[in-house]
Amino acid sequence: MTDSFAQRSIAFPSTMVNIASRLTQSPQPFVLPGRYSWSDFQTLDSIIRQDSKLHITYLDGVIELMPLGEEHESISRMLGILIALYLVKENIDFTVVGSATRASEEKSVSFEPDESYYLGEKKEHPDLAIEVNITSGGPKKLEKYKRLEIQEVWMWSNKKITIFTLENERYSAITRSQLLPDLDIKRLESSTLLTSQREAINQFTTDQ
C-alpha cells in the first residue's frame, strides 16, 4: 500500500471507528479488502482500537477483524477460569497472559489468542493458546500460531475443543493434550457449556 492510504486513515479515523462499531453488532469475522504493509496495519490497529471491541489479526498482508460478542467472551472466560483451577490443583507453575498480542514484523504476523499460558518458565511466546470460534474455525486458522511456534493450540468450535500440537513445523490434531495429559477435556467442554458459572466450577472440580 502507498503512503496515501496511511494518510487517508489518519485523516479520517472516524471512518475506521464506524466500521469497527458496526462489526461489533455481528459475530461474523470480516477480512478487509486488499493487502496491507506492516506500517498500514499498525495505523489501522491504533485507529480501530480507539472505540471497538475486536480481535485484529494480521498475516502476510491480510487483516481480519473478529468481533467479541457476549457468547464468545463468556466461553473464553469460563475456559480460562476452569483451566486455572486445574493448574492450581495439579500444582503446575503457570502464568496467564490472556489475549496479549503476539506479533512479529519479521514473520509478518500479529494476533491475539483468547487465552494463553506459559507453563513453567516464561519463554518468548506462550506454550498454550486457546481460540474460541463461535461462527467458524479450523486448521487454516493455525498458520498464525505456527509462525510463532506455539506448542499447543486449543480451538473451541461447535461446542467442542480440538487440540493441535506442533511437531516438525506442522500442527496435528490429537485427542489428549501433551502439555496437560491428565486434563479431562470432555469434562472441560461440558462444564464450560453450563449457563451458571458456579455450577460449571462445581461440576468441573468435583472428583477432578
DSSP 29-91: -EEPSS---HHHHHHHHHHHTTS--EEEEEETTEEEEEE--HHHHHHHHHHHHHHHHHHHHTT
Instruction: Give the pLDDT mean for 98-123.
Output: 96
Residue 136 has phi, psi (to 5 degrees) of -160, 160
Rounded to an integer, the average pLDDT of 167-183 is 96
Q: What local confidence, expressed as pLDDT, does residue 69 receive?
A: 84
What's the count of helices (H) and strands (E) in the chain, helices before strands? 7, 11
Which domains does the chain possess?
3-67 (3.30.1370), 70-205 (3.90.1570.10)
- List, in sequence order, every residue forming a beta bridge with 95; answer none if it has no partner: 118
Q: Which tens digit of pLDDT belongs to each residue from 43-58?
A: 988 887 765 678 899 9
Average confidence (pLDDT) over 149-175: 95
For the beta sheet containing 102-104, the strands, ordered from the edge strand earlier in sequence to the opposite edge, are 30-31, 62-67, 54-59, 109-111, 102-104
Measured between alpha carbons, how far is 19 from 27 in angstroms, rounded to an integer?
14
Q: Is the pLDDT of residue 1 over 70?
A: no
- Average model confidence (pLDDT) across the chain: 86
